[in-house]
Every structure is written in structure tokens, then in C-alpha cells.
Chains A and B, each alone.
Chain A
Amino acid sequence: AQKITQTQPGMFVQEKEAVTLDCTYDTSDPSYGLFWYKQPSSGEMIFLIYQGSYDQQNATEGRYSLNFQKARKSANLVISASQLGDSAMYFCAMSLDFGNEKLTFGTGTRLTIIP
């Protein structure tokens, strides 16, 4: 069965610094997709970035990038120039299905940005 591991329960980062949130995954399926979501204190789930297992390049979306190391089965989220509004829970998730209707989530990392 697939599994997502996020080993950092909480992180404190100074404003304007870059931050890396760790995510490792476990699957024997060669085809999969990896997602990152942000959950602010208001509770909604906000999609940040996607990486497919066959993608040759690391995904980027604005200040978010995904450091995808396939051999190590890691998909770390990098946030450049952190802002106070980045304070939130961050979840890594994996899909083994083409339609992405079944996501497996990690336990999340609570990121706090310090002014």
C-alpha cells in the first residue's frame, strides 16, 4: 500500500527566508502523482503544486517549487522568500490513479513564519 511520510510536525522560519518542507513516499507503482496542499487556520484546502512521476523537470508555481528526487522517493516543497501569510499546515499527498480521485495524505507540517 502507498504511504506518505512528513517527518516535521512543526517548523519556525524567519520571514523572507526560504523553507523546505520534507515529504517522502512509498509505492511500488511506477506511475503516480504528488500534490502539495496548504491549509490555513480558516480550514480550507488550497492546492499548491503537482509533480508527475514521469515529469523530467521539477515543478514550479510562483514562489513554490518541488524538489523531486525519484530515486530517494522524496518530493520536498520549497517556499522561497517566505511571507507571514505562509503560516499554515502543509500536506503532501499522492495519487496512484489517473483520475486523482483517491489521494493518500501525509500527517502534515505546521509552518509558522516569524516576523
Chain B
Amino acid sequence: NAGVTQTPKFQVLKTGQSMTLQCAQDMNHEYMSWYRQDPGMGLRLIHYSVGAGITDQGEVPNGYNVSRSTTEDFPLRLLSAAPSQTSVYFCASTTGQEQETQYFGPGTRLLVL
């Protein structure tokens, strides 16, 4: 199993551009989540999904959209990139069972100029 994969690993955008961060998992996990990590602030939840067709907002959803058309994929869309969205983005998945950890992807480093 590849686990949780994220593409790209690194991306530079100009202010106002849009892009999609890809996330896929091959563990048949129902639950998937997106976090951003900023220096000194730990990880913060952007959006999450408890199954195909079901998504909800986390702590910092503004400027991001998600969709979950399949169990495997959970892309994160930046509609109009802003410098404040410069961050490291982590996708994670879990079975949804009690005591089960989230499994994190390797992260995408995004720089918005």
C-alpha cells in the first residue's frame, strides 16, 4: 500500500491563481481531512469528509473548496491564491474507528507570491 499520497510536493503560485492539491489514499478509509501547518501554529483543520459525497468545514475553511466524489480521492482547491495561504498542507485519512490514528500524507509546500 502506498498509504496517503499528495501531489505536488512543492508549488509556487502567483496571487490570484487557482490550483488543486491532490490527495489519494489506498487504504479504503472513509474519513479524510486537510490541514495546514504554519510556523509556530501547529496544524489547523481546513476541511474534512466522512465519506464520498460528504464534506464539512474545519477551523480555517475560507479560500478553500473540497469535494469527495470517490472514497480514494479528496482534492483541495484554492480558488484565488493569496500570500496568506503560503503554508504546508497535509492530507490525512483514517478508518473512523475509535482509537485509530489519522495517517498523514507527506505534505505539499505552497508558496504564494
Residues of A near any B CB (own CB < 8 A): 4, 33, 35, 43-45, 47, 50, 52, 91, 93, 98-108
Known pairs A103-B102, A105-B42, A105-B44; list 7 more (Cβ under 8 Å).
A44-B107, A45-B43, A45-B90, A100-B31, A100-B100, A101-B48, A106-B42
Chain B interface residue bracket vs A: 20 to 34
Known A-B contacts A43-B88, A99-B50; the reply to A52 vs B98 at CB < 8 A is yes
Give the chain A neighbours of B31 by CB distance below 8 A. Answer: 99-101
Taken together as a complex, chains A and B put the C-alpha atoms of A30 and B46 apart, in Å, by 25
Residues of B near any A CB (own CB < 8 A): 30-33, 35, 40-45, 48-50, 58-59, 88, 90, 92, 94, 96-104, 106-107
Give the residue of B33, B40, B44, B104 whose beta carbon is less than 8 angstroms from that of A101. Answer: B33
